[in-house]
Amino acid sequence: MSICQRCHTEFTCAMADNTGQKCWCTALPPVDFSCFPAGKIPANASCLCPACLPQWKAEIAAGKNKLE
């Protein structure tokens, strides 16, 4: 199981948990990395749960990069 970096909820990330299946997150639109400083994703980024990832992407699009 994975732990959401943001809300600390336990969830399954097929990629990180090596389930051999396609992860739920691949169905979401990709992140525009130009929204991040220097065009790069933060080095401490990891899996976010199905509730937090869409919210985080919306914050990025609004210019509020909050990976906490």
Residue 32 is assigned to a structural domain of this protein: yes
Q: 35: domain range?
A: 2-61
* Angle (CA) 21 26 4, round 5°: 85
Residue-wise pLDDT for 37-54, tens only, equals: 665 566 566 688 999 888
Determine contact, residues 53/25, Cβ cutoff 8 Å.
yes
Residue 51 is assigned to a structural domain of this protein: yes
Residue 66 is assigned to a structural domain of this protein: no
Q: How far is CA 37 from CA 12, 33, 45, in A?
A: 29, 9, 13
To which residue do tokens 């509730």 refer?
51
Q: Is the pTM for the entire model greater than 0.95?
A: no
In this prediction, residue 9 carries a pLDDT of: 92
The pLDDT profile of the chain, 68 residues, written as one tens digit per residue, is: 888 888 889 998 888 888 888 888 888 887 766 666 665 566 566 688 999 888 887 877 777 655 54
